[in-house]
Structure 1
Amino acid sequence: MDTNFEIFLAIAPGLETVLLAETLQAGFSGAKQTPGGVTFTGNWNDVWRANLTLRTATRVLARIGGFRAFHLAQLDKRARKFPWDDVLRADQPIRVEVNTNKKSKIYHAGAAKQRIETAIKETLGAEISAEAGICLKLRIDDNNCMFSVDTTGESLHKRGHKVAVNKAPMRETLAAGFLHDMGYDGSQAVLDPMCGSGTFILEAAEMASGLLPGRTRSFAFENLTTFDQAAFKQLKDHNPVQPDACFFGSDRDQGAVQMSQKNAERAGLGDCTLFKMCAVSDLQRPDCASGIVIVNPPYGTRIGNKKLLFGLYGALGKTLKERFSGWRVGIVTSDAGLAKATGLQFAKEGKPIPNGGLKVKLFQTAELP
């Protein structure tokens, strides 16, 4: 349990700096940014804590060991000597994924996958299944074979306490990343005037309350030999606080408002969130200190006719400029032209982030005059 190994935290490309900041703030010392995520050295307790507490990571991989292999026969021989039972259980089905490159003499991923599956089946006795919840990943790079176990299972954006979802939802991990990028620290009020199923508001309220994002879900690491139920229970024992800030969501769709309310109640956030049906042009400033407006409006590529959206973005910008002096605004969209249609002055344009097959950016203002 105390043996250290490399841990890789995956995130949507473009948000690596956000994940690095969150990882260091969470006390994972020595974390370093790498393409597609963050790495640090830790133990299995760190694996559990990363899955349980980090909001922007999408999954956590434990790099459990490896060896060099120059041909398939050598891969087969060394895989049969690998201590699989140090991490994997014989009674848990396993899925194998292989990635290789032209730098390696073993370049056929399918053949390598077959060798590893056979070695595990015959030496560990575990079933191999394409639907298995435990995924073993092999990366062959310059003849170095590195094995990693996906300790997460379902992506970490699936918090476990949100059942009602609107069309084209923002993933929770992305929402948390955009809030972090706006400098949100849990003390500011947050408002989303097109809240959908409430993702931005729920993430902000959970951060302010100190609620752990993984508190109600299960993880793949619970089915590894290294899992300690009592130790993990201690990590989950966490007392939330009642936040000082308030969190407001609105939408012109009554169904979306009802979904957001149900999701907030299921997450234990009913007392600090407020959702109501409201068109953008009717939006009023809440009776609280200035905070953050963050919104993921529809884009032309997901609605069909982009021309119809310019009026919506224009109305949003007009309302915010007239009624939200002192607030900062963040708009997530795939189209810079639509962002410009708000008439807002953007102080910062974020990197393109993949989201549902699109590349979106976070456009941020300074405090509105």
Structure 2
Amino acid sequence: MTSRPNAPRAASPSDAEPARMEIFLVATPGLEEPLAEEARSLGFDAQVVPGGVQFHGGWPEVWRANLQIRGATRVLVRIGAFRAMHLAQLDKRARRFPWADFLRPDVPLKVETVSRKSKIYHAGAATQRVEAALKDSLGVTIAPDAEMVLKVRIEDDLCTFSIDSSGDSLHRRGYKEAVGKAPMRETMAAMFLRQCGYDGRMPVLDPMCGSGTFVLEAAEIAAGLNPGRARHFAFEQLASFDPAAWQQMRSTPAPAVSPEIRHFGSDRDQGAIRMSLANAERAGLSDWTRFDCRPISDLERPEGPPGLIMINPPYGARIGNKGPLFGLHAAMGEVLRERFGGWRVGLVTSEVPLARATGLPFEDPGPYVAHGGLKVRLYRSRPL
């Protein structure tokens, strides 16, 4: 097989129209629908499929999905598939696969395999065959800690190869270094904001802000900033990567929007406020946000139009006991009803009785969402 240079290949003006591939957005279980809505709002022809959202496109669409989509955990690219009824057939066809069109020999690789309802039932043996094919045909190094991951799925005797184009999980935006206990991932926070109808044109307040996730996600949306603007992606080490085109896409300026509406976070823990302030500064959102140390009882309504209150309070499953939390939720509901007329509330909890304890006018809760071993739901209220 002809060897390829180690440097990434840049596209030339004579290149044909980029091949359309299946692009798969991995969703947090329970948040597939809002993720599909977000992808469609960004111009992707996205459909919900088991485990996430799927659409078709070329490598520029892969880059843009990683850069712009807030709710996906990862972006997988399906690069090929074939039938394989036994290990020898898998070995033969894997050696014929055009790996050099996608992978670079100088970039270490990890292979992950799952197999179900197939004659090739031993995932470990299948992994060994694919790894051998990669080493012999491309000369790539196999490393268990490699950032570049090739996912092999064998289902009903169909072997599908996918590349994880993201690397680190996409909830790692690149600026949030400080986190508190039981943090909510940014990808989840973005989807809960979307489900509450947040569009960047209203203030958001989180009275239990922790490290500031809800507030910072809302401020990014309002400021028109891409969530992946400050991080590295695995696709930057693929053979198809065009550094100049990526730099142009990444450097596209955000809309010139002044922070007329700020976003507010408060917490009774001074350490949490320090974390939020540091995260906001790293994200370039200090002008868009304000964080104060105060308990719920001292919460004040900000000046300006009504907005959205987003809360991820303790559920009792990980932090403390449930008993005292009923009083906390009741007091929180009373403060919000008395001081925040016209505002709406989004509350995330695993406990239906705690949501009811607030006395807030919640509509039927959303679907169950996987969150760190728990099943949580979003409760949304009418205007208070």
Shared fold by TM > 0.5? yes
Q: Which residue of 2 aligns with 1:179?
A: 193
- Aligned to 1:22, the other structure's residue is in SS state helix
Is 1:97 the equivalent of 2:125?
no
Distance in structure 2 (CA, Å) of the matches to 1:348 and 1:364:
8
Distance in structure 1 (CA, Å) of the matches to 2:141 and 2:327:
57
The more displaced of 295-304 and 51-60 is 295-304
Match of 1:141 among 155, 158, 182: 155
Q: Which residue of 1 aligns with 2:7?
A: none
Q: Which residue of 1 aligns with 2:345?
A: 329
Shift of 1:25: 0.5
- Aligned to 2:151, the other structure's residue is in SS state strand
Shift of 1:239: 2.2
What letter is aligned with 1:65? G
Shift of 1:245: 2.0
Q: Which residue of 1 aligns with 2:9?
A: none
Q: Tell me if the contact between 2:259 and 2:287 (Cα under 8 Å) persists in the aligned partners.
A: no
- Aligned to 2:235, the other structure's residue is in SS state helix
User: What are the ranges of 5 or more consecutive residues in structure 2 without an aligned counterpart?
Assistant: 1-16
Shift of 1:242: 2.4
Instruction: Write the mapping of 1:22-171 to structure 2, written as runs, cut at 5 A.
Output: 22-29=38-45, 31-102=46-117, 104-171=118-185
TM-score by length of 2: 0.94
TM-score by length of 1: 0.98
The more displaced of 336-345 and 178-187 is 336-345
Distance in structure 2 (CA, Å) of the matches to 1:316 and 1:238:
42
- Aligned to 1:349, the other structure's residue is in SS state coil
- Aligned to 1:332, the other structure's residue is in SS state strand
Q: Which residue of 1 aligns with 2:220?
A: 206
Cα deviations across residues 304-354 of structure 1 (Å, max 9, x unaligned)?
A: 311011111111100000001100001111111111111112113011111
Q: Which residue of 2 aligns with 1:2?
A: 18
Q: Tell me if the contact between 2:350 and 2:374 (Cα under 8 Å) persists in the aligned partners.
A: yes
Instruction: Write the mapping of 1:330-369 to structure 2, written as runs, cut at 5 A.
Output: 330-368=346-384
Is 1:232 the equivalent of 2:251?
no
Q: Which residue of 2 aligns with 1:194?
A: 208
Shift of 1:246: 1.3
Distance in structure 2 (CA, Å) of the matches to 1:8 and 1:282:
45
Q: Following TM superposition, where does structure 1 have runs of at least 4 consecutive aligned residues deviating by more than 4 angstroms?
A: none
Is 1:297 the equivalent of 2:313?
yes
Cα deviations across residues 188-228 of structure 1 (Å, max 9, x unaligned)?
A: 11000000000000000000100110001000000110111
Cα deviations across residues 146-167 of structure 1 (Å, max 9, x unaligned)?
A: 1000000000000001111111
Q: Tell me if the contact between 1:121 and 1:128 (Cα under 8 Å) persists in the aligned partners.
A: yes
User: What are the ranges of 5 or more consecutive residues in structure 1 without an aligned counterpart?
Assistant: none
Distance in structure 2 (CA, Å) of the matches to 1:36 and 1:215:
26
Distance in structure 1 (CA, Å) of the matches to 2:250 and 2:259:
20
Distance in structure 1 (CA, Å) of the matches to 2:299 and 2:230:
34
Q: Tell me if the contact between 1:13 and 1:35 (Cα under 8 Å) persists in the aligned partners.
A: no
Q: Which residue of 2 aligns with 1:247?
A: 263
